[in-house]
Structure 1
Amino acid sequence: MIESNNAEHTPSHIVAIGASAGGLEALESLFDALPDELGCAYVVVQHLSPDFKSMMDELLKKHTNMPTHQATEGETLVANTVYLIPAGKLMRVTDGKIYLSELPPDNRINLPINEFFRTLAEDSQNKAVGIILSGTGSDGCRSIQAMKEAGAMVIAQDPEESQFNGMPQNAINTGSVDFVLKVADMPKYIKNFISHPLTATTTDKFKFHLSQNTGLLEQILKLIQKQTDLDFKAYKESTVSRRIEHRMSINNKLSLQEYWEYLQENEKEIELVKQDLLIGVTQFFRDKELWDKVKEEVVKPLVLESTPKDPIRVWCTGCSTGEEAYTIAMLFDSTIKELGLERQIKVFASDIDQTAVAYAAIGVYPTGISNEVPSKYLSNYFHTLSDGNYQVTKELRSLVVLATHNVIQDPPFSNMDLVSCRNTLIYLQTPAQQKALAFFHFALKKNGYMVLGSAESPGNFSNYFHTIDSKLRIYQKTQDLRIPVSSITTQGIRRGGYEPKTIPQYIERINKRTIKPRNRLVGIKSLQDRYIPPTFIIDTKLELVYSYGDTSYFTTKLKPGEVTKDVADILIPELTSHVLSAAHQVIREDKGVLMESVATETDDNGKITSYGLNCFTFTEDDEVEKYIAISFVEENHTSRVSADVVYTPEEQTEQRILELDSSLVECQRMYREALEDLDTTSEELQSSNEELMAANEELQSTNEELQSVNEELYTVNSEYQQKIVELTETNNDLENLLTATELAVLFLDSELRIRRYTRPLTNFLNIMDFDLNRPFMDLSLKFDFDGLHDLIKQVNEGAGPIHKVLETKDSLQIEISISPYTIGKNNNGVVVSMREVK
């Protein structure tokens, strides 16, 4: 373990760098451009195969003068030093020290970047920088939101520059990235951020600065409201100041006045600071202990106490990108299935952030959720997309209704069994918190449940709730008294420009859009041949097209809300079954139907009028579409009506019951068969889906690791190739040197086999090219010297160099030098040279 207690070596900031496939080149470029004396500690987190010894430290040392090594357990981070994640480990940081852990033993996908970035956000707050470089998948994008929340700076490599753009693009898609940059430009932004007074010091200078500039701060909030229709005056001052402080440090603005001027000139920055103010850190099953408790103490009781006809209603407010809402929906749906009951569940999820609500509506989440969502929920409620991301199933999506909603400004939902509002109230001032809690109390049924964040409580309204778990913040409504909210004054977080439409205005708008002029004339020709009693014209979908006469007696009063065109929703209840039965028969048989005495009306004078129902079809001359006329004819005029079939209500009812009984029996049979087939298919699909998801995650993780290994091997291979080139050049130089000197030289290995020789040696020795690797003893000299073999053996065994001058029979003098062939300090053969002395 490496330790450093020298305060001078404590890093000012920690720069965490996440990289995967294609990341080696980006890392080399980054460290080529980074100064060596910024005072930061650099931690590189990669996807590494546990079966491969990484050479990343050796590779990066060629691109930086900073000490570079693999991190060790308990190591204190030191300034101007590069730390690398060891293969087969997860890494986290606490109190400026590195801690390592083994990879999880199960088949969960390995996401080391998420793990380290998450702990860095908790440990270093705004003294951190997170960088996402090239890589496939989405590792890192679940934790950069936490880094952004903590005030750190987040940078992503430009996807167009990265070899693999999956990781940078997924990070950008979260909306939590401050800058998208080319690698060469990153050091400049890092230097600006770490040297900014707001991140370089731990004093409260900025808060003091704000207290002297409250007017300027209000102007900034008004400017944000003007462009975004959101007023943040109800936010706590500390929250607002922290967010603006972050934006100032990111943009290198040294005063609030300078930032105010920058905002006025930059509309995009207004949107970014708004997003900073709205940022929500969320995940599936966040705080596992809480959701285990909620399932036992809230979900199961609600499921058991409810009935199939009464849907369980949940309001998840401040839902952000939907993780918590889908978590609640999964808990209820799985519990209903576990208990084998038939229940309905509807989760109303709301948030003020339209972008977050739109994201939740799509329901696509990165690969990293596989470490958040238990496997049984992941396989049942998500399917894997081609890019490795997950999307909620249609079944789960249908349980959640998403809406943009202001929790302290808009009217609350009602008749809720559960309200969940976690980590939203903590950002609001006390009056806004009280109003929101009053709305939650109003929204809940008696004995309904409320779940708050770990730092939130009912406060002054505690008497209205029973505490189920004070630690986990689970409460139950006990008093059905309405909490007065008129006296609670709140400002802010208000969407501008909202004008509720009146019902008449809405109806007029619907009519203008749906009723075409030509449809107003539909059936007039046929009606002229008869008469115009109170009449509805509907299409074959049983939707209202037009009406004639005074139909008010036969219709219900219009209810507030969305206008329907379904004729069944317009008629009074006692007429609905008669009208629908007659309409279905007319459509099916194309025969006119008269039904006697379906309704009676008593006027102000006590006169009773009885009505029959006349129903028939017709078409326009130039149209194929069929229309149905439904007329209510006074009983004394029914004799004038021509109809193919005449019923009394009782006869019609009996006939309809017989038809419905027959249809019901057939539907039940078909339903049972379909259910059996569906169960079988569902079991097979679920089993296959679980296997495929596990295999896909393993393959993706392995692919990431192999890609990193491949990059390192490619780099090492390139170095070997370069060394081979250098070796070839050296060998050529040696060959040319020996040729130029015309020396007769023989190289023998340690076994005294021939390794190499020069051409002039053929003047002294009977040797040819095919003699390479043959023992020297097999060759013969062209002159007499019986002791040569023994001398060569002596030198090979360590006797040292030997020099001899021999005289041949022809009176030629030959100088022989025998020297050891050394590699380092070891003998590895013999070098023999010969030359004629003249």
Structure 2
Amino acid sequence: MPTEPDDQFEAVLTYLKETRGFDFTGYKRTSLARRVRRRMAQVGVDHFSDYMDLLQVDPDEFDALFNTILINVTDFFRDAEAWEHIRRDVIPALLAERDPDEPLRVWSAGCSAGQEAYTLAMLLADALGPEQFRQRVKIYATDVDEEALTQARQASYTTAEVENLTEGQLQQYFDQQGGHYVFRKDLRRSVIFGRNDLVQDAPISRIDLLVCRNTLMYFNAETQAKVLGRFHFALAPRGILFLGKAEMLLSHSRIFDPVDLKRRTFRRIPGVPTGLGSLVTYPRVPERAGEVGGLDELREHAFSAGPVAQVVITGDDIVALINQQAEALFGLSPRDIGRPLRDLELSYRPVELRAYVEQAKVERRPLRIKDVEWVRAPGDSVWFEIHVNPLVHTDNGLLGITIVFHDVSAARQLLEELEHTNRRLESAYEELQSTNEELETTNEELQSTVEELETTNEELQSTNEELETMNEELQSTNDELQAINDTLRERSAELDQVNDFMETILTSLRLGVVVVDRDLRVLVWNRGTEDLWGLRSDEAVGEHLLNLDIGLPVGELRSAVWAALSDSTTEDVLLIDAINRRGRNTTVRVVVAPMRNQAGESVGAILVMEPSDARPEDARPEDHDPEDHDPEDHDPEDPGPENPSPEDHDPENPSPEAD
């Protein structure tokens, strides 16, 4: 590929920065240009100007170019000897320097696909135990490659990608899902992934262990110095920086001390200015171009007007300076200057300061007291981060102690909200990841179902043809069933006629007819029985015969009825004294016969009742139709219902209608 002017290549870098926010201007030009030309050769473009035109029309080309520039070469426990040094020496030292409950913050800068971050998680979980790890450790893993971050968040790796891990590590820290190994979800929550450009974006602060391996070597010297300054700001006092074996710049740095130069571990030098607003505890006297008058008064006013509360004490713990913020916040006044610190409420509230002051004197190093809560009133709390800094003379003599109270209430609230939001996002992401896996599984099942449906469709085509044949047969059968149905309706009509005929017979009989089943429940109670006893059919049917309250002493029928139900072949004829519906005494002739089915088995009993002394007046007047009366048939000796005889006259019941 022909050599092109540098300005055309720089134009491509400027376009990437303006359109996508990636600033590659700090990368080494030789290696950077070589990688861009490699991508241009892959897409068949010869000139940088033509390639910039391709980037403008094809947005997907950006991802391919970034993957080429940002070579994501990483692995679990890459360079095993260096990681063994971290496990054996660095992590135990970090834990020994911190309280048992103090959080531990780790930053994996340039994490690529996440293997480095999860390697750190495994080492710290081994050192602390899973429970302490979940409570104390936060690992911030950053990169500029969104595609690599997406893979890292999934925490899923192939068998080839985990070949450096032992069988015990796989069983302890990974769950096998199909052909992949997925990092444990409960430990995964402590690893937070995000995009961060080391050159442009603000660094993460208060880091105890910062891992940035084989990333700085891609930057030029100026950019490396800038990034190292950010790392110095990011690290906590005595924080550890872990670099790759190809990076040698820090061996000559004045802001980091080598811990193990061979394995590229360095410790942050405290108190060295980094250009990011750190507090200078080792003062130096700058060279002055000329004398400035009134410096003492100027310093006093500048100190008094400082934005944060600050108190300065001498080496003998005598209060020397109090600024306006401290006076307003803690109720101090200029009269307190010259008093011993122990006499002030400030010495023990909001936190016991005297022990920290003594420690700063002895160790000659700044101390930071985090998460100090001061409850000024119920429901009114202020959170401080207090810095206790020794003021050391050039000959290492102690001048005094400055105590600075930083109000971090708003920052703490924001941090809590951010952590809460992060937990929700992590939970949502895990649910989304789980849903995605379920969808992939469902997709495979659906694909299999489609194939089965295609086979089923062919079977249904064949079945459809069979059903058409069966439908024709069913149509013929339906015609036959219709003819049978017509016959059944005719038979039903005939049966209705028979039932009506039987009902007519039973109604026409002047005799009382009662039919009972084997449980002595009344099945038939005809019109003659109603006339005889005055009890309607709907009142008697379904009732127990022996429970009927009528003029007939039904108890005397018990033995005859049970005889009829016991398959007796004889009929019993009984004469029973009773009281008819008119209240008159009468003698009733009762015939009890068994009711048999076609098999000859007794299924009930039939009782036929007839008054042995029946007289015409016992009949109901409404049973005689005047139109049917023939005068020629009248017997003059028979008084009849219209001409009752004197002996039948009842003064209390003068006419049959009265009954």
If the length of structure 1 is used for normalisation, what is the TM-score? 0.33
RCO greater where, 1 or 2, for CA within 8 Å and sep 6 or more?
1
If the length of structure 2 is used for normalisation, what is the TM-score? 0.41
Q: Over alpha carbons, which structure has the higher Rg?
A: 2
